[in-house]
Chains A and B, each alone.
Chain A
Amino acid sequence: MTMLAIAPGTVAWSVLAAGATAWLAVLALSPRAHLGPTRVVRWILRSWFSRFGCLVAWWAVGWHVFCQRP
């Protein structure tokens, strides 16, 4: 019997992805009392400091993905 070998790291990432999906589903179905992703992003973009920090993080991610990854 052939078994597919799944790396433990992949399992952990799958659990995190499932958790994030479930949380987003809860946010979509629940009233606005919960802190959704839209409110988190709007909160970050309210001031210059946090907006600039977000932009630096965005650029660093881009540099890593497009200039360091294959």
Chain B
Amino acid sequence: MPKALQLRPEPVRGYDARREGSTGRWWGRRDSNPHWRRFKRPASADWATPPETGLRCGEVIISGLITRLLPSARYAEVVAHPFTRLRAPDDLRPRRERRRSSAATAFLSVGAIALSTWEGGLTRDSQGAHAGVELVGLAAVVAMVVLGWGRQRESTRTWAGATIHHVRPGRSKASVISLLVWGLLIGGVIGWDLLSFIVQSPSFPTLSSLVGHVSHHPIGRGVLFAVWLAMGAYVTVGGRLTSRR
């Protein structure tokens, strides 16, 4: 049987060595447990035995036959077990594809630096600045749809459901504290910016006017534009699945 088709061994639930009459298989004992100090079993776990596949945690199983029949299997299958701590598998794409990806990244980076340098020399009223921002926005939307088709992780409905589930009462203390601090910081920034905008006084600068101190200079404007492009690139292509569904 190909290795990829082998199911990982199920942990023995409720294993009782005394009932089996074999004290040597009782993994809880230090002298008979070959995995002593190598793995930490959570106190809440209801299994008793470690995996016996001979594979290390996070190791990828690939079968030649499966790879030929199902190209998508190249990116899969990672051994998962309560003992293992999963890590992202290495980049398993073919060499040519990786080279093409690196070349595209380098080309786009050079283009982004050139565009930022050009944009740094413009002013807010120039036609070029307006056209540049409009075209970048349009390109981002097109790239988001073309590159992300079939690679989005969740449907909007699933995402909304999961979000509602996540913010429901009864979450852990750390989650509640995190949500409170994030809410306080984001609410504070938006609220204070709004207040400063309403007051319209030099004593109460808006966030926009603070950024204006930087974007006033060509270098600052160019650097801000480069940062803005990088953020847009991540929003456009980041967090996607590696292959289409």
- Measured CB to CB, the residues of A under 8 A from B are 7-10, 12-13, 16, 19-20, 23, 33-35, 40-43, 45-52, 54-55, 58-59, 61-70
Contacts and interface: CB of A to CB of B under 8 A. Distances in A.
B177 to A, nearest CB: 7
B154 interface: yes
Given A8-B203, A58-B235, 18 more contacts: A9-B196, A10-B205, A16-B189, A19-B185, A19-B188, A41-B234, A41-B238, A42-B239, A45-B235, A47-B152, A47-B159, A49-B156, A55-B140, A55-B141, A59-B140, A62-B232, A69-B212, A69-B215
Interface of B: 119, 123-124, 129-130, 132-133, 136-137, 140-141, 144, 148, 152-156, 158-160, 163, 172, 174-175, 177-179, 181-182, 184-185, 188-189, 192, 196, 201-205, 207-208, 210-212, 215-216, 221, 224-225, 228, 231-232, 234-236, 238-239
Given A35-B182, A47-B155, A47-B158, A66 B215 contact: yes
A52 B144 contact: yes
A54 B181 CA distance: 21
A66 B225 contact: yes
30 contacts: A7-B202, A9-B201, A10-B205, A13-B210, A16-B185, A16-B188, A19-B185, A23-B185, A34-B174, A35-B178, A35-B179, A41-B238, A41-B239, A47-B154, A47-B158, A48-B148, A49-B156, A49-B160, A50-B159, A51-B148, A51-B235, A55-B232, A55-B236, A58-B232, A59-B140, A65-B211, A66-B133, A66-B221, A66-B225, A69-B215
A49 B154 CA distance: 10
Contacts of B155: 47-48
B100 to A, nearest CB: 24
Nearest to A64: B208
A66 B129 contact: yes
B210 to A, nearest CB: 7
B235 A62 contact: no
B141 to A, nearest CB: 7
